[in-house]
Amino acid sequence: MNDLKGRVAVVTGGGSGIGRGIALTLGAEGMKVAVADIERTSADAVAAEIESAGGRAIAIGVDVTSVGSLAEAAGEIATRIGAVSLLCANAGVLARIGSLEEHTVGDWEYTLSVNVLGIVKTVGAFLPALRTNAPDAHIVTTASLGGLVSDVRAPIGAYIASKYACVGYSEMLRTELAAQGIGVSVLCPGVVASNLIYTSADNRPDAFGEQVRLGAPGGTPPPPPPAVAMPAEDVGPIVIRAIRANRFLVLTHPRTKPLVEDRFRAMLADFDFAAGG
């Protein structure tokens, strides 16, 4: 997908952090952007930012864990700005910083419901619209560098497992949709400045139990030193380049390359071991 101008994009989790950064960039590229978020006020603010910069945007309240909410959002977007050509399935949460033993079943359920099933449901809701625009149609899912390597220096087991699942799902999706002319990329960022550790608890359903407020006093302190965090606004241009080139993996932090090299070197060594080497 090369020609973005005038086409319709939807960004879930568009009200904050990486989603906001992507939405602003798409707006500046001349796309009509649906900023979709469970926090309607944040979506309103980002849509207003895009419009005040001369772009075209609407705000949509949506819960990506709900098929019904997604169906309503898809219908509203189609009616107000047209059929979606670019889907950024980006909404995600971090439910726990702590050892696997400290993770509750509710932590797992909440994490997987948003980070894995939320993406699956989002793609399901927008695929019919994307098909009508193929071959000018593209999906970007947001996983994480933690979907490629687990050595991210933070005890976030459920989050890592959810992001590995997102990468696997996105690989399969790319293969299956290629014949239909729909491109698929998976964004795997390193640390990006956002509200993830501060607000992930805000919309956790009661059924999953209460969440320790990660960034709040008394909660587990956030691990990444702010100096290494990339500004969220810098992610959007990287994503757009990848969409235009139909690249699969969208990576953000070149200095993390050795982590991936170590993982694959270890994997190859296991093949050598299995072969008796």
Positions marked active-site: 159, 163
Beta carbon of residue 174, minimum distance to ligand NAD (angstroms, whole number): 18
Determine contact, residues 114/91, Cβ cutoff 8 Å. Answer: yes
Closest to ligand NAD by CB, 28 vs 208, is: 208
What are the residue ranges of helices labelled H in 104-256?
Answer: 105-115, 117-133, 157-178, 196-199, 235-245
Whole-angstrom distance, CA of residue 137 vs CA of residue 18: 21
Q: How many CB atoms lie within 10 A of CB 68?
A: 10
Beta bridge partners of 31: none
Closest to ligand NAD by CB, 217 vs 226, is: 226
Beta carbon of residue 114, minimum distance to ligand NAD (angstroms, whole number): 5
Closest to ligand NAD by CB, 177 vs 201, is: 201
Closest to ligand NAD by CB, 134 vs 249, is: 249
Beta carbon of residue 133, minimum distance to ligand NAD (angstroms, whole number): 23
Beta carbon of residue 99, minimum distance to ligand NAD (angstroms, whole number): 20
Determine contact, residues 86/25, Cβ cutoff 8 Å. Answer: no
Determine contact, residues 116/165, Cβ cutoff 8 Å. Answer: yes
Beta carbon of residue 130, minimum distance to ligand NAD (angstroms, whole number): 19
Residue (of 35, 33, 26, 39) closest to 198 by Cα position? 39
Q: How many CB atoms lie within 10 A of CB 210?
A: 10
Binding residues for ligand NAD, rule: CB under 6 A, are 12-13, 15-19, 37-39, 42, 62-65, 90-93, 114, 118, 142, 144, 189, 191-192, 194-196, 199, 203
Residue ranges with strand state E in 131-199: 137-142, 182-188
Cis check for the bond before 135: say yes or no (omega within 30 of 0): yes
Please name the residue that has the structure tokens 């500046």.
28
Closest to ligand NAD by CB, 4 vs 235, is: 235
